[in-house]
Amino acid sequence: MNRAGWKRLAWIVAVLALAVTVFAPSLAEPSRLSARVDESFEIDGEVYPAGRLSVKAVQAYNPSTVLSEIWVGGECLGLFRATKVAPAGTATEDALTFERSAAGRLALVGFSASHRPEPGDYRFELPGTRASSEARLALR
């Protein structure tokens, strides 16, 4: 291959790398936060045994709210709205946020995301959750 051919190949590679950088994040799978909870917990007033809990951000609902699926074990509990309570840059790690209910059980109240769809701290709009103290479960 001559010098002009190498230049053309380098240019094509550069354009493809730029396209991947620009478009790949929008094509990525929605974000999923998962953790094993070692004690029983509440979601919207319902009690679940210890086990795997996942929150999957599905899409932005508006600039301050995302729609998220909540999964317990292999079962989807439904689509829940979560409102941003702290802006991007405050979430230093991905985490699920719990508070202690009046009965003393962990109650899922929100999550922190340092990635898509919109980084920040979110709180679920779950009317069945009444809490007294907060704990964060970092995801690793």
Tell me the whole-structure pTM to 2 decimals.
Answer: 0.66
Report whether 108 contacts 53 (CB < 8 A). Answer: yes
Residue 28: pLDDT above 50? no
State residue 52's pLDDT score. 95
**Residue whose pair of structure tokens reads 């701290």 in the numeric block:** 121
What is the per-residue pLDDT across 6-23, written as a single tens digit (0 to 9) for each?
666 666 655 555 444 444
SS (H, E, C) 95-114: EEEEEEECCCCEEEEEEEEC
Here the tokens at position 15 are 């354009």
Pick the residue with more confidence: 51 or 12? Answer: 51
Arithmetic mean of pLDDT, 83-94 = 72
Report whether 112 contacts 91 (CB < 8 A). Answer: yes
Name, in order, each residue with C-beta under 8 angstroms of 19's C-beta and a sequence gap of 6 or more.
Answer: none
- Ordered by start, the domain boundaries in the chain are 1-28, 31-138
Arithmetic mean of pLDDT, 33-62 = 90
Angstrom distance (rounded) from CA 125 to CA 4: 60
